[in-house]
Structures are given as structure tokens and as C-alpha cells.
Structure 1
Amino acid sequence: MAKFTDYNLRSEIYEALTALHFKEPTAVQAKLIPVILQGHSVVGQSQTGSGKTHTFLIPIFQQYDAENQNVQAVITTPSRELAQQIYEAAKQLGSTFSESDQPRISLYVGGMDKSRQIHQLKNKQPQIVIGTPGRIKDLYQAGELDIHTASTLVVDEADMTLDLGFLPDVDAIASAMPEDLKMHVFSATIPQKLQPFLKKYLSNPVIEEIPSETVIAPTIKNILVGTKGESKDTLVYNLLTMGNPYLALVFANTKKRAHELTKSLRSRGLKVAEIHGGIQPRERKRTMQQIQHLDYQYVVATDLAARGIDIPGVSLIINDGIPTELEFFIHRVGRTGRNGMSGTAITIYNPDEENRVQMVENMGVKFEPMTYAHGELKSGYDRRRRQKRAKTTAKLDPTMIGMVKKKKKRVKPGYKRQIKNNIARDAKYKKRVEERETLRAAKKAKKRSHGK
């Protein structure tokens, strides 16, 4: 098994990893850190929570040159929250360097004071740049940020960058950099539309797809609960309050639904944080800091949080329905049960979402069916049991099918027993008819033989 000590890193990096309690590299780290350190460009496909951030940060800090005062590395990511998260991780790694050698790390995202950023850039350029593609591109095109000196470009969450329409900005950034640029692309998926970009900038990259051992981590208890006519608002509240989760994260499919659910839970007395794209950046940043400081026990969010925010200590995930984009289901549930810790993920579904539940199961996800009653979750039934039973039930003739349907419409006490009795009588009648037909045929045959 690989160890970080195998990589012959700077003592400052080992000190920082010790403070993080990182002992052994994750699968993606073990595969790609040595390759990046050897000077290769890479494409790493790995699921959320697999350790991608330190996969590219560790080599950047290993190759960092304190005497070079120019921009040395640029890291782009599609969301402000994820940029902030990477920035904090980078600051932690840099904190162990001596005061004179500490790298200058700057964060550039939309929503921050651009004029202040420009003023700071006129005084001194950062050595490591982290931010959203649009803001980094704007500062470069304004002639303020000198990214043309960088030797490394990291494109994090490339599929999300593509989906949100930021790839042209990343293209503009990459085109401003040296021809011998080392580019590292990390993504949970590599869609076909991303291929032209990869071919344009990457020459013979090392491509690694890190498969998950299971679709859902074995540390996660993955539960499915039907509404059974109960409102989702009430069911979400009951599930949140039946225990005492360390930190519970509730996912809604839309900003409108997230706001409605937050309002409902607050009206019932819960202190709830609300995180989605409709919240102003400054307020969102403040709320995230409060969550990190454990000022909130309950958080309602859209899928922005599934891909862009890494909140440690999430012990309970509740899906307020199946996500519109099915792949987000894995990202949502993956927010809990991390680093070997146990976690619970509960997915609530309406009867009309049955097909979508089946589609999630077709991805390899296995649910434990349960029902909520009297303040607790109890083992439920296989919702497909009727389908399975139908396959093994004896086929009835049209007459009996009509009889069964007629009885079902009446729904009187004991109708099931009556149907069984009717089926038995019908079978007995058919047997008698068959016996009579056999007897008649035998008599006719006997007469014909006598006539001869």
C-alpha cells in the first residue's frame, strides 16, 4: 500500500499532512501524484470526495519556487464555494513554510471587490492563483493578472465547468499560457463535449479513471422512504428530528423548492441554513462560514452544494426527491460517510417518482426500503413485490379475469376468499367437462368398432 513518505516530499508538506491526519493517499492520489511530480499532464476521473484537491495541490507546493516572484500555478473551478474550499486547503499547506518562503496565494471569484483586487495586483503578483474562470479571465484581459508566467494550470470539476458554460473562459486562460504548459484536468465524468478542449491543450496526457469500489460507500446506510400521502415538508421535518444528527444536509431540486422547504422547517422551530444560487454571494459566504463553525445543525441546499461545497461532519443526508440529473444522486449521498465515518442517506419519493427510483437503481445503487411511523424508521417492503408476484401467478382465462375485476370493484369483506372459491369451482367444472368429453369419445369409438 502506498504512503505519502514514498513521494520524497518537502518536510513542510509532511508537516501539513500530519496536521490533517493524512496517513495514506487515496486511490486517485496514489495514482496521479507520482505522475504529476514526474512532469506529466494528467486527466483524472474520480468521484466527489475521492481526494482530488490534494492530488493537484501537493505537487504544486512540491514544485513551488520561493525565489520566483511570478505566477507559477493557476487553479480554476466553476463555483465560488469550491474555489474558497481549495483556497483554504492551499493556505493550510502553505502555512508550514517559513515566513520568508510562504507562497503568496490569492483567491479571485465573482462577488469580491474587483477594484481592490486590481489595486493589490499592481503592488505584487500572487504565486498561486485560485478562482472562478470568469474573474481570472477578466483580470488577465484587463492586463492586471500576469498568468502568462504560469507553468501549471489545473481545471477542477471540468464537467461542471462545461455544464455551466465556463469552458470558453478556461480556454481563454489556457491560450494565454506557455506552450510547454502542464495541464491537469480533474472531473467526476469526462463528457464527449469536453474532448475537443482536452485534445487542444493536452499532448499524450496520462489518463486515469479511478473506479469506485461500490457506487455508494459501504459506510453509508442508503434508505428509501415513500411519502404514502404525507406531505414531504412534514416527512422531512420528522426525519430530521427523530434523532440528533451532528450535521444534516437536505437536498432540494430547485432554488424555489429549497426556499419553500427552509421556510417550512423554520416555521416549525428549526434553525436552518439555506444555500443555493439564489442567495447573494456575500450572504452565502457568511452562511458557509457559520456552517463550518457548527452554528447550524440543519442545512437545506440545491445541487450546488453537492459538487461545490465540502462540509465536514455531515452525518445525515435527506433527498427531497430524486434529482433531475441522476448523476447528482451519487454526489449528494457522497457528502456523508466520508473518511471511513458512518453516515445515513434517506431518499424520499412520491408514487409518481417510481420510474426515477428505478433509474437510480439501474445505476447500481441499492436501497434499503423503510417506512416512517410513530417517530422511527421501520423495515419496509419491496415496492416491486406486486410486479414479482404477478410474474409467478397462474394465468386465468378471460372469464375468471372478468370475475376477479368485478369482485375487486365491489371490495366487499371476504372477497379474496370468494375469488379463490370461484377459481376452485371453475377448475372443478372444467375437469368434469373434460371427463365427460373423454367418456363420450370413448363411447363413440366403441360404437364404431361394433358397427364394423
Structure 2
Amino acid sequence: MNFTDFNFKPSIQAALADLKFIQPTPVQEKLIPLVLSGRDIVGESKTGSGKTHTFLLPIFQQLDETSQQVQAVITAPSRELATQIYKACQQLASFSEQEIRLANYVGGTDKQRQIERLKTHQPHLVVGTPGRIYDLVQSGDLDIHKAKTFVVDEADMTLDMGFLDTVDRIAARLAKDVQILVFSATIPQKLQPFLKKYLTNPMMEKIKTQTVIADTIDNWLVSTKGRDKNGQILEMIQGMQPYLAMIFVNTKTRAEELHQYLVANGLKVAKIHGNVPPRERKRIMNQVKNLDYQYIVATDLAARGIDIEGVSHVINDEIPQDLSFFVHRVGRTGRNGLSGTAITLYKPSDDSDIRELEKLGISFVPKVLKHGELQDTYDRDRRLNREKSQQKLDTEMIGLVKKKKKKIKPGYKKKIQWAVNEKRRKEKRAELRAKGRAERKAKKQSF
């Protein structure tokens, strides 16, 4: 299937051609017709599946440029995600012959200036974070009651960050017949009350990706046992010399610690986490895009949806506390068909988490850091596999071992070893006798 099969407006076709979009992704092929039909939808799909254009293309297709009303409202849980969606809207709008008014309402921007603009005209399409959008709605400056479409993007992240109540209040200001589209990487149970409250007979679609991690990504596993992790990361990245590397950590405190360590060792490193002020984050993101930094230390805030071009390496300082974020982190590299490398540092206590990831279809290649280079090494399960491959004692010998262990008399180990050796000698003699009989039988048959 090609995008031309959807019969979009010429301006949308031109925008798709500019993006070099020819064939829709599985989520786009499945859901775009349903969105165009007006159905409420809950789309569960992994990061990098093309969710953004799944809802943007139908919105732009049905947009009335002559109207003075807000026609679509899109919420995203972070400023960066909202801005990314807004830029995708700008690209689509740039090919329209008529003006399409867009607005990006996020925290950390000039609210008073936004209010002044709203006094002259309402935007056709609103993108933003729940808090700022609701502030403008509650004050009466932003009028959304006639919007035809409401999109909640990254719903599970919206829930995790505590914004679902605000999204609920926005939804309450919309018309009863508004089309609601909820997109999320997962659909947690705590999201169900919201879905039941606002969505009418929604189409629930779970789009399975063919591979959990893109096959363009080398996924490596490196043990930190007995090593200083900071020094290990420094040695690793100095040896790799990446084009752009993202180093994911689990906490803001760890982000600060690792950032200071790497900067102190002369590296150009940016940091992105929840305590970095919005304007500072925006400045950092612009500097990253200008390649002012070669390394980014980030919490999972940057793992979901933020598309930073040219990420050649992803390093997991440790396995994420929420295992679903592993795919989001690794998905920052190997995009658009380019190759990438993902490296996960682990300690022995992480083994159960690694096994859970492997159950999802994620495979790891074990590596070891030697002389500044990551080299192939033994699988972490080699001892277990070796034990499985060893010759198993038969039930008679196991019984003998258990019996001897119970008595715990002096010299019992020697007795057990003697019994084992004696049994093996008997088995060997039996094999030789059988072989001799077979040879004699063969000679008789030859005569």
C-alpha cells in the first residue's frame, strides 16, 4: 500500500513527498482509515511506529481553513514531545495554499503573549502540554468547545507524570460528539476509567511490531562487575568516538553525577532531566541539533518520542526501572534505516531483568571492555550451560549420593567417588563386550 491510496489533499501529498514518505507503516495503514471514518480509537503501538502522522494526516485532511474555530486539540506529556508534534504540523501546513493557524502551548513560554494573540484569532489546531492548554481554556482565552478531534498522545506517560487529571478536565470542556484518539505504547489499567468516561465504543487496536528492536541496531551487553562504572563509561566512549551518543540514567541525581564526571574529563556533554528548567532544556536541545555536544546524559524524559537526529550510540548506565523504557531508549538510535549501537551496562543482580527482556524477543551480544575496545566475550550463562552439558548421574547413582550424604561419615566422599568410578568401569566393560560381540557377528556373516 502507498500513501496515494488514501486520496489525501494535493497539499498533503506534496508534504508527504517532501518527507519522502511512500509506504505507510503498519500502524498508519491500519488506523488512518479508521480515524478518517470518525471512530474513537485507542491505538497501542511502540515508539517509532509512525503514530504522529497516523493522527495528523486525517486531521489535516478534514481541516477547514476558512473556519475561525479550533478544530483539533493534541496533548503531549512533555514540552519536547509537544514541540516535536508542532513541528510536524508546521511541515504539513507549509504546503497548504490557505493559511493554517497552528499554536504550540507549553509551559515555560510567554503565556501573556499567547493570550494577546488569542484575542485576535483562535488557532485551527492546538498542540501542547495539558497544563498550559487547560490554563488557557479555564481563563476563557482558548475556545475549544467546537473542536472535532481530541488527541491524547503518549497516554501512559501522561498517566505516569500525573497529567491525566488535567487531560480529564480538558476533555470535559469538549463537545460530546468529539472524536477522541488515544495513542500509547502501553495501555495500563489505571487508564481504563478515563477511556470508559469519554470514548464512545472505541476501536481498540494493538499494532504488533515485527521486531522489538530495529535490525539495524547492534545490541550489546557489558558487565560492570568489579569495575568503576564512571571510569568504564569514560573509557568506552573515548574508544568508540561516536557521532552522537545518548547515555540514559535512572535518576536525576545520577544524571548530575555522571554529567559532572564526564565534563571534568574534558568531554562536551549535555544533560536533560526533569530538574533542568524548560528554557534551559530548549536551549540544550537546539545546541544538540547544532552538534555543539557529542554526548547527552538523560533520564527517561528524553527516551519517549523525542527524535534527535544522528544518534549513533545509546548507552544504558543501568537497566531502566520500568523495563518498557528499554525499547524507547534503544530506539533513539538506528532510525530511518541507519545503523546504530546500543550498549547496556549490567551487574549480576540484573540477571532477572535481562531474562525478562529476552522473553520479549530482545537478544543481546555479550561484550567486554579491554584496552579501550569492546570485544566479544563469553555468554553470561556459560557456567549454567556447561553444567547442563555435563554427564548426568543416573537414578541409581543419585540415590547413592543422597544416601551417603545422609550418613556424613568420615571418608564418605572417597566411597562415593569409588562407587562412581566402579560404575563407569562396569559400563566401559559392557561397551567393550558388546563391541566384541558385534565384531564376531560381523565376521561370521562375512563367511
Q: TM-score under structure 2 normalisation?
A: 0.87
1:212 matched to which residue of 2?
209
What runs of 5+ residues in structure 1 fail to find an aligned partner?
Answer: 403-418, 433-452
Of 364, 368, 378, the match for 1:367 = 364
- 1:77-107: CA deviation from partner (whole Å, max 9, x where unpaired): 1111100111111111111122xx1211111
1:85 matched to which residue of 2?
84
Q: Distance in 2 between matches of 1:12 and 1:244?
A: 42
Q: Distance in 2 between matches of 1:239 and 1:422?
A: 52
- 1:370-416: CA deviation from partner (whole Å, max 9, x where unpaired): 111122221111111212333444458379999xxxxxxxxxxxxxx
1:56 aligns with 2:17: no
**RMSD value, Cα:** 2.3
1:289 matched to which residue of 2?
286
Tell me how far 1:255 sits from its aligned partner: 0.7
The 3 A distance-change label for structure 1 pair 431 and 140 is closer
Q: Distance in 2 between matches of 1:238 and 1:400?
A: 52
Identity of aligned residues (%): 57
The 3 A distance-change label for structure 1 pair 4 and 311 is same
The amino acid of 1:186's aligned partner reads F
The 3 A distance-change label for structure 1 pair 429 and 180 is closer
Cα pair 1:28 1:52 within 8 Å, conserved: yes
Tell me how far 1:308 sits from its aligned partner: 4.3
Cα pair 1:83 1:130 within 8 Å, conserved: yes
Q: Distance in 2 between matches of 1:295 and 1:277?
A: 21
Of 325, 328, 340, the match for 1:328 = 325
The amino acid of 1:73's aligned partner reads A
The amino acid of 1:227's aligned partner reads T
1:244-263 matches, cutoff 5 A: 244-263=241-260
Tell me how far 1:298 sits from its aligned partner: 1.0
Cα pair 1:133 1:170 within 8 Å, conserved: yes
Larger deviation: 383-392 or 284-293? Answer: 383-392
Cα pair 1:79 1:308 within 8 Å, conserved: no
Of 267, 275, 280, the match for 1:278 = 275
1:46 aligns with 2:41: no
Of 107, 111, 129, the match for 1:110 = 107
- 1:126-156: CA deviation from partner (whole Å, max 9, x where unpaired): 1110001111111101111101121110000
Cα pair 1:45 1:210 within 8 Å, conserved: yes
Q: Distance in 1 between matches of 2:422 and 2:54?
A: 76
Across the two proteins, how many residue pairs are aligned to each other?
A: 413
The amino acid of 2:8's aligned partner reads L
1:313 matched to which residue of 2?
310
Q: Distance in 2 between matches of 1:383 and 1:399?
A: 34
1:35 matched to which residue of 2?
34
The amino acid of 2:215's aligned partner reads P
1:435 matched to which residue of 2?
none
2:23 matched to which residue of 1?
24
Q: TM-score under structure 1 normalisation?
A: 0.86
2:123 matched to which residue of 1?
126
Tell me how far 1:244 sits from its aligned partner: 3.0
1:72 aligns with 2:71: yes
Larger deviation: 286-295 or 270-279? Answer: 286-295
SS in structure 2 of the partner of residue 13 of structure 1:
helix
1:198 aligns with 2:171: no
2:221 matched to which residue of 1?
224
1:380 aligns with 2:395: no
